Each structure stands twice: as C-alpha cells, then as structure tokens.
Chain A
C-alpha cells in the first residue's frame, strides 16, 4: 500500500526543521527546540567532528577542502533528513558490537554519535585532540576496513554512508562542482569523440555519469 509514507513522524520532521535552522544560521523560530529529542541535536563537538572528518576526506589542494566550505554542516543536515539512505533501518547483526548502541528504536542509526565513538575509540581518547596526522591515520584505518579489497560488503557500513554524503556535499557545492571539477549547464552541442588530455578535469554536470557512474 502506498497510502502513507513510512519511517517519518512528526518528531523526525521537527528535528529536521530545527537542524536546518541551525545549519543555515536562521533563527529557529519555525520549530520549537523543546520539541526535539536532546540526544538528536548536534553538539558543537559533533559539528567540529563533521568539519574535521570532511576536511580529511577531501583536503585543500589547489581548491579548498570539504571542511572549510561547510560540508560538515551539509553532512549534519543530510543526516537529519535521511539523505543517502541514512533513513533506512539497519539490521542489528549488520552492525559491529559497539555500533548497536547507536541504533534507534526504528532501526535507523544515530550516525554522528557513532562516528564520535568510533574515532575516539581508535584514538584511545579524544580524537579531536590528536594531531592532524594522527587523526588522518585513524580515519584512513576506518576507511580501509570499510572498503576491503574484493567485492563490496553486502550492506554498507555507517562510514560508507557518511563518506558518501561528504563526497556528495563537496561535489555538489560550487567549489567542488565548478572549481575542482567543471560545470556546464548548457553545453549547446555534443562531441562524441575527443582526445582526453592528461589531467583534464571531469564534468560534474555529466548527469548520466552522476546517475550511473
């Protein structure tokens, strides 16, 4: 039956609205913060986590990195609204032991607290207080474990989903889409066979590649 949607109740919507207000910096008058489950609101620490992690995934090169252009806050917004499949319930057995404690009653995961715990655990303390190099080592380790060589795991791990949102946040930003990559909304023509120069930047506006790539 398609009469009603699933997995989204008033609480979810309020949470989303308040987070949106927080993230874009407008007064949260449209939503009453008291309606929101305290545990679901991002802490300042989680915002710093999201920023730092984003920056490590996509650092500054000749163009800015993900953290410095606000992808951390995009990640928070995206998670609050369940983008990238993060609103799907996850089977308890699909989660490593310590991750199970971040599972909500509806089976969805509290991704940010999970990420904090995961990296703090690897750091043996406060991951944010480790040196940048050490932070990168821990994140790279989590990433390697998430993407082992060979066929992809059956169900995506929490880190794969978070990383997916960071990548999405970056390459759909103006910096990522139009400075790091190339963006042309109105190509005006189709050239079926061109030489590909070494180092040529990809087109973020190749929508078929975005869909199937």
Chain B
C-alpha cells in the first residue's frame, strides 16, 4: 500500500498483546507499519535469562532481594508472577511513578518491554457472551455496547486459531466454546470435585482453564512442557506472547519497522483535516525526541497508558484531550474485584498424586444473575478460578517442629487442598477515572497519570456471595474450609484494569465507535483494554485481541475505500 507522503501507513503504539496483533494484521494486509515500544528489546529465546535457572543458581534463591524490592518494586512485588526469576519483566516503580487520588489504593502492575505483559500474563482465554455485551443495557449501569457476541464470534475464531488455546467444550451459553486445542487434564481431586458439585448444583460446572498454552505443536512453536514458569519467558514458544507468535508473523512480511525504548508522548493532530497525523516520542536511552507520520494510528499502549497518551495529547482544538469531545475520556475504569474466596483441605485422596506442572487451573463459570436475578445486592456475575494441589515444603514455615521428624514430614507430599479465587464483575462508574496529575511529572516532564478507583457495593456483595458459595461447594466436594475472604484486594489486583476510552453508540457519551475507532478522529483507533464499556467477569485479553483484529479489518476497508 502507498504511504501517501507519510513515513508509514500505520503506527502502532505498544507491542503487548494487542499491539502485536495490530502489527501482525496490518503488515499481513500489506501496510508498512511502525511498531513503537517504550521498553527494552527482549528477543525470543535469546533474552530469557533466568528461564532455565534453579533457585540455588539465583543470588536470593528465587525469593529476590527484599531490600531492592522495597526501594524499586514496592508495587510490582505484589504481583503473583513477580519473583527473582521474573523481576526483569516488570517495571521499576521508582522510575515509573503514578499518582493516586485520595482514598485510592491501586496496584498498577506493568511490564514495559518488547512484548509488554504478553510475557507475564496469566494466559486464561474466555469468550464473552451476550450476557456480558447486553449487561449495561439490561441493568442501566454504564453505556450499552454497540456490538453483540455475533459481531465478535468470527474474530474470536481467528484469534484462537492463531494463538492456540487449549480447553474443553462445555456448551455453556454464558461461556461460549471456542476453537480449542485438546484440553489439559483435571487432576484426580478436581475430577471428583466436578462430579460432586454437578450432582448438587446442576447449573454449576468445574472445567479445566482455557489457556493460551499449546497442547499441540503449531507453526514454529512447541507444545507446553508443563513447567509452569511461563513469566520467565518460554523458549519453546509454548504460550502465546508477542515474541512467540505475532511479532514473528509481522516481521515475516518485511513491512514492519520496530523501535524499542521509544516512549510515545503525544499524538499529532491536524484540526483542518480532523486527522491524527503521527506520533512523537522520546528515546528512553538518549533523551532525544523523535517523530513519525502515518495515515493510520493504533493505540495499544495498555488501557491506562493509551488513555494517558490521549489526555496528554490535548491541543487547541481538543483542549481536554485528544478524541475527548465527549468529556468521557478517562472515566469508567474497571478492574475485577478479586479475592481468595476459599481454601479447603481435602481428605480421601492421600494415596493419589500427579506429576508435572500444569500451567492452568480450573474455572467455575458464572452461575449468578444469568436468566434470573438471583444475586443479592448485585446484578452481574463472578466466576472462580483455582485448582487442587498438594502442599509441599513451604508448609514447614508455618508448622511446629524441628529435627528429624520435621525434616521427614517435609520430605513427603503434603495434603491435598483446593483453592478458589473469585473474579467479580467491576461496575463501570464515572467516579473511577484517570486524569493527568496537576502536580507530579515523570522524569521526562510528562504529567503523571492519576488513578481514582474504589470498588463499590455491588462488587462487595458479589464477593460476599462468592465466599459463601465457594465454601458450600468445597464442603460438598468433601473439603474442610480453612480460610476464605470476601474483601477485594486493592484496585489493580486482578491485573484486568480496563476502560477509560469506552466504546459506545453515542459520540456524546463514549470515546470509541463500534469499530474501536475514536468518534472524533476517523484514523485513530484504540484497541487495548481502554475500549471496554463493561468488564464481565472473564479474563479480558482474548476479547481485546478479537476486537483488535476486527478493528484492523475495518481500518483496512476504510483505507482501501479512501475514507482515511
């Protein structure tokens, strides 16, 4: 395709899960694309420095230097996947500050590097259904989605077939089946749990997690080796990441220009033509400022950073932020309310065990508020993820005993236990919002992003119900509940932060149209989590990818028609 006097046909900002997809789709369609990544280059296989290390080969045995973490990673260290092995895949909090509004406790987990959080994600892949796309309209929270499941279904197909998702078909209307690779197996306790829960509650199902880990080989990617240390990087290419899948596809076209260490600061806008014309960035290494022009701009910087970029790109014509004629930009951010609902010890299986580290758990799909409202104090859903496992040596940190008996006890496999973690739908609220800090800037002089976020009554009610139901199900499965919580972790805990540039039918109340394109600027697309108008209770990355692929197809149609 001709660049028409611009440097590139398209610029994609961000190389994470959705940026990689945009780069792949647009280059494969013939466009000359510039992919900008704010972080360092991490080359597949070559740069996964700790992938094969044992704990005793690490300076702090895999536990990490707590003094360093207190200074440089006080937020990131709270991430489940953050360890001494993976710390290089997370941002330094001291160098990458953000502000929080009074009363907000928000842990913003970030990975600024080639591949972004596609290197560290949880890999769970769930389709949304019309229960989700119709939710805002039904109960009046937020604004109605301009699309429904049928609009996205073919794009889910396309994404799943490319990335490789293993999972079991279950025929659930609230969690549509996808194009799955063979499922991973439930272990012996999870199988029993599935049977016992189904016997008591016919509408509740325990199924294996649907995960972007390959159970069958795929173009240049090996199958999962059951290590379950994915966030270190996987040289087998067995889980989906930018590095393992979309970047090689984009590079293969010969039409991709990749620049790392490029921190995009603003988007250029031509008010006469009402078009975005390019982007400006600062080289993180040298401090030099650079720019490039293109006919098409895709923002894939991650939900909050894409919003940050739009807010920071305000100009005379758009004084409240680019593509923010509605004033909605930054509002209605969400993150699933997330907590450990129950943990139970399960007797009766002490003569059974498993081998290998399965990189997924189980899921109990949403059963509340589907065809009738049966939740008290909440209208949306929640679902559980977790699994059955056998304790090992770490129980020794909490148990009495010293000497030979103690050592012998820790030598053997511990009791079976089941963990259930709830993800409750986060309601879209105008008061949960992003803005530019008026007082704080980052080291490049850009105003920091300020986050205002609290969970509300609906989320609290959902997690209270989840705690009760988790306990009931685990007891029914033969377990003895040891602990459970109904208070959500701080905002950001689920690492599903989304919204801020929501999609909607009405330009007066939404930022993006049904094609993930800004209402105000015809050649500017935002296809990461920022576009979400509601949160459902499923892990959202698969939906972001499907929306990205769909938006790319629309952008290409528009380009070919000469409309942009």
Binary CB contact string for chain B from 401 to 435 against chain A (1 if under 8 A, 0 otherwise): 11110111011111001010000000000000000
The reply to whether A136 and B402 form a contact with Cβ atoms under 8 Å apart is yes
The reply to whether A171 and B62 form a contact with Cβ atoms under 8 Å apart is no
Q: For the complex, what is the distance from the CA of A78 to the CA of B191, rounded to whole Å?
A: 41
| In the assembled complex, A209 has its CB within 8 A of some CB on chain B | yes
| In the assembled complex, B160 has its CB within 8 A of some CB on chain A | no
The reply to whether B70 and A204 form a contact with Cβ atoms under 8 Å apart is no
| In the assembled complex, B52 has its CB within 8 A of some CB on chain A | yes
Contact residues of A between 159 and 204, Cβ < 8 Å to B: 160, 163-164, 167-169, 171-174, 176-178, 180-181, 183, 185-196, 199-204
| In the assembled complex, A208 has its CB within 8 A of some CB on chain B | yes
Contacts of B355 in A (CB 8 A): 187, 189-191, 194, 203
The reply to whether A143 and B400 form a contact with Cβ atoms under 8 Å apart is yes
The reply to whether A202 and B408 form a contact with Cβ atoms under 8 Å apart is no
Binary CB contact string for chain B from 174 to 192 against chain A (1 if under 8 A, 0 otherwise): 0000000000111110010
The reply to whether B75 and A209 form a contact with Cβ atoms under 8 Å apart is no
Q: A1-B99, A187-B227, A208-B387 are in contact. Are A181 and B392 (CB under 8 A)?
A: yes
Q: A2-B93, A194-B355, A196-B351 are in contact. Are A171 and B410 (CB under 8 A)?
A: yes
Q: For the complex, what is the distance from the CA of A57 to the CA of B396, rounded to whole Å?
A: 10
| In the assembled complex, B54 has its CB within 8 A of some CB on chain A | yes
Partner pick for A202 among B100, B228, B414, CB 8 A cutoff? B414
The reply to whether B70 and A167 form a contact with Cβ atoms under 8 Å apart is no
| In the assembled complex, A83 has its CB within 8 A of some CB on chain B | yes
Q: A56-B402, A87-B70, A192-B187 are in contact. Are A213 and B352 (CB under 8 A)?
A: no
Determine how close the nearest CB of chain B comes to the CB of A74; give it in whole angstroms.
7
| In the assembled complex, B288 has its CB within 8 A of some CB on chain A | no
Contact residues of A between 9 and 39, Cβ < 8 Å to B: 12-13, 16
Which of A168, A171, A206 has the largest count of B CB atoms less than 10 A from its CB?
A: A206
Contacts of A86 in B (CB 8 A): 66
Contacts of A1 in B (CB 8 A): 97, 99-100
The reply to whether B407 and A61 form a contact with Cβ atoms under 8 Å apart is yes
Q: For the complex, what is the distance from the CA of A180 to the CA of B548, rounded to whole Å?
A: 50
| In the assembled complex, B72 has its CB within 8 A of some CB on chain A | yes
| In the assembled complex, B561 has its CB within 8 A of some CB on chain A | no
Partner pick for B225 among A6, A167, A183, A186, CB 8 A cutoff? A186
The reply to whether A169 and B393 form a contact with Cβ atoms under 8 Å apart is no
| In the assembled complex, B391 has its CB within 8 A of some CB on chain A | yes
The reply to whether A204 and B393 form a contact with Cβ atoms under 8 Å apart is yes
The reply to whether B397 and A164 form a contact with Cβ atoms under 8 Å apart is yes
Which residue in chain B gives the minimum CB-CB distance to A206?
B392
The reply to whether B396 and A188 form a contact with Cβ atoms under 8 Å apart is no
Q: A186-B225, A188-B225, A201-B411 are in contact. Are A213 and B391 (CB under 8 A)?
A: yes
Binary CB contact string for chain A from 62 to 105 against chain B (1 if under 8 A, 0 otherwise): 00000000000010011011111011000000000000000000
Q: For the complex, what is the distance from the CA of A53 to the CA of B464, rounded to whole Å?
A: 44
The reply to whether B411 and A181 form a contact with Cβ atoms under 8 Å apart is yes
| In the assembled complex, A5 has its CB within 8 A of some CB on chain B | yes
Q: A172-B55, A192-B187, A202-B393 are in contact. Are A3 and B67 (CB under 8 A)?
A: no
| In the assembled complex, B42 has its CB within 8 A of some CB on chain A | no
| In the assembled complex, A48 has its CB within 8 A of some CB on chain B | no
The reply to whether A81 and B66 form a contact with Cβ atoms under 8 Å apart is yes
Contact residues of B between 54 and 70, Cβ < 8 Å to A: 54-56, 60-70
The reply to whether B74 and A6 form a contact with Cβ atoms under 8 Å apart is yes
| In the assembled complex, B280 has its CB within 8 A of some CB on chain A | no
Q: A136-B403, A167-B393, A194-B354 are in contact. Are A183 and B54 (CB under 8 A)?
A: yes
Assuming A190-B185, A190-B354, A193-B191, what are 11 further A-B pairs, CB within 8 angstroms? A2-B97, A5-B94, A74-B61, A83-B60, A147-B398, A172-B63, A185-B52, A195-B351, A207-B357, A209-B392, A210-B394
Q: Nearest 8 pairs between A and B by C-beta?
A: A213-B391, A147-B400, A190-B356, A187-B356, A164-B397, A172-B61, A172-B55, A5-B71
10 A-B pairs with C-beta separation under 8 A: A1-B99, A81-B66, A144-B400, A167-B394, A174-B56, A185-B54, A186-B225, A190-B355, A200-B353, A204-B55
Give the B-binding residues of A (Cβ under 8 A): 1-8, 12-13, 16, 56-59, 61, 74, 77-78, 80-84, 86-87, 136, 139-140, 143-144, 146-147, 152, 160, 163-164, 167-169, 171-174, 176-178, 180-181, 183, 185-196, 199-213
